[in-house]
A and B are shown apart, each in its own frame.
With several copies, the nearest count.
Chain A
Amino acid sequence: SEKDREFQEKIDRGVRIEANDWMPEGYRKTLIRQISQHAHSEIVGQLPEGNWITRAPSLQRKAILLAKVQDEAGHGLYLYCAAETLGISRDEMTAQLLSGKAKYSSIFNYPTLTWADIGAVGWLVDGAAIMNQVPLQRCSYGPYSRAMIRVCKEESFHQRQGFDIMRQLCQGTDDQKAMAQDALDRWWWPSLMMFGPSDKDSVHSEQSTKWGIKQNTNDELRQKFVDQTVPQAGWLGLTVPDPDLAWNEEKGGHDFGEPDWSEFHEVLRGNGPCNRDRLAARNKAWDDGAWYRDGLTAHAEKRRNMVAEGAA
């Protein structure tokens, strides 16, 4: 249609789309799906890291981790707000998460088993997330773009903190070094999977690219992540658990092995190590908190009635 054409021209000229602008239903839906999925990831992402707050091994690390988990909840908040500008309520999105209908980043279905996992999650998972998110700062939809600018700033801080945990472990006792290597071994492949399947196998990519929602292919970002991370692992004295990993002078980047995509699809289908536990934790929090939400609503109601009576 004419409107669709005009919309595409705006995108192509680099004009930001704002909440009250006309937009195609598909664009709206794609963004709602993507932003809410991103918000849910921040919310569920509190769980694997929150798992170590009470057990962080120093007061300083405890404070840093608390601040990080707080930031994640904050990111969830901005992102829900950005999604709400597209005409969906936070309660609707929450219901979709809790019923299992909405997805969140599969990486959070892996468990954090040792303190080193908190380092690895910051270093690798936040590292991969930033790769994915940096281009989104230039996303065609204004509210999402602005949310991402704020998110990215904090995420790169988190990544540095994660790396610092790894650094301390790698400079520590033999037990600590082994712990760091073990965490890298377990988080490496799931981190590579965070970029999604190869673009040739990815369903939504083409239209999203045209709409200025997606800027790079999954494979480009994965390559960039590997090229950034491998030297860091080297600096730490850790071994990346990929026998096929090798520097390719010609392409100016690393060759590396293929992640186990059957595992990826299993986790996506709900069969990852923690899918059940994550959803159960979120559902419990929501159900146990019903009295709280109802109580605040009842109080607000009372207040309104008092004001109305006062006015009458």
Chain B
Amino acid sequence: MDPLVTFCLRMGDTTLILGQQTAAWCGHAPVLEEDIAFANMGLDLIGQTQLWYEIAAQAEGQGRTPDDLAFFRTERQFLNAQLVERPNVDFAHALMRQYLFDAWHLPIQEALCESGHQAIRELAQKSVKEVRYHIDRSRDLIVRLGDGSEESHAMMQGALDALWPYAADLMAIDAVEQALVGIGMLPPLDRVACAFEAETAVTLDRATLAIPGNGHARTGGRTGIHTETMGYILAEMQQIPRSFPDARW
């Protein structure tokens, strides 16, 4: 597959699956303000997904639409980072997943603002504003709940322990990205991981949360290897289009 298509799918699949997981909290969050915030983040993420899929579909040139990409691919064809498919165990997991994602999403979008590919650059310039707002919110909550009550501290530490190993998958870079950097379509991405480390080191320290030491890196999502939760997410998400393959909605 064209590296550009692969890269756009990696990005779009990641925002789509996180949007899907985020949106599932609507009506079930701990306070009304969180219902609103999660719906809002979900909305931004779905919007970004549409933009990534448009670039991918156009680069692919096989006439597939963004909806085809979302609803008619199988699990092994989805290239999202494993982090975003981790389940909605509780709201602490949802917040921590969002924060770790944001801590990667902001620097990569900032980097992409300098992409040599016009559509990607425009996408990033639009998205980066949304992402800044997201991380301001999620960073603040991580600190307040990490350094909150004994229980909220334990909940956030538990979520961090469970999710930290999956952060590596966000930063995973392979020949696909290297090829795009090589032709100037992407700026060098090394600084993204550095920015992630710096952001999380400071914030988790303020939150009195300990970064797990034995956190072996879980990767694979970027090449279509997922965790066992992924199939269920797709089953639900794709049910209607797959049940009525000839329909338009």
Contact = CB atoms under 8 A, between A and B. Distances in A.
A299 interface: yes
Residue among A43, A113, A173, A292 facing the most chain B CB atoms (10 A cut-off):
A292
Contacts of B43: 63, 66-67, 70
Chain B interface mostly: helix
Contacts, number: 191
Contacts of B145: 292, 295-296, 299
B38 to A, nearest CB: 9
B50 interface: yes
Contacts of A172: 247-249
16 contacts: A53-B24, A55-B240, A57-B244, A58-B67, A66-B26, A67-B39, A168-B249, A285-B27, A295-B145, A295-B153, A296-B144, A296-B145, A296-B148, A298-B148, A299-B144, A302-B147
A266 B237 CA distance: 34
A285 to B, nearest CB: 5
A53 B26 contact: yes
A29 interface: no
A160 interface: no
Interface residues of B, number: 67
Interface stretch (B96-104, B126-134, B222-230): B222-230
A55 B228 contact: no
Nearest to B154: A291
**9 closest Cβ pairs, A-B complex:** A289-B30, A295-B152, A295-B148, A70-B39, A46-B27, A271-B216, A298-B149, A292-B30, A57-B240
Interface residues of A, number: 65
Interface in B16-60: 16, 20, 23-24, 26-36, 39-40, 42-43, 46-47, 49-50, 53
Contacts of A271: 165, 214, 216
B28 A281 contact: yes
Interface stretch (A141-149, A189-197, A272-280): A272-280
A175 B235 contact: no
B231 A176 contact: no
Chain A interface mostly: helix
Contact of B76 (A62, A80, A182, A295): A182
A123 interface: no
B23 A54 contact: yes
A199 B249 CA distance: 40
Contacts of A292: 30-31, 34, 91-92, 145, 152
Contacts of B53: 59
Given A54-B20, A54-B23, A270-B214, 5 more contacts: A59-B53, A70-B43, A74-B36, A113-B76, A115-B249
B174 interface: no
Contacts of A47: 27
Given A61-B249, A173-B244, A285-B28, A77 B152 contact: no
B240 A294 contact: no
Interface of A: 43, 46-48, 50-51, 53-63, 66-67, 69-70, 73-74, 76-77, 80, 111-115, 165, 168, 172-173, 175-176, 179, 182, 186, 266, 270-271, 273-274, 276-277, 281, 284-286, 288-300, 302
A59 B67 contact: yes
Contact of B151 (A53, A113, A277, A291): A291
Given A58-B67, A111-B227, A114-B76, A289 B91 contact: yes
A107 to B, nearest CB: 15
A195 to B, nearest CB: 24
Contacts of B26: 46, 50, 53, 66, 69-70, 73
A292 B146 CA distance: 10
Nearest to A275: B216
Contacts of A168: 248-249
B197 interface: no
Contacts of B247: 57, 172-173, 175-176
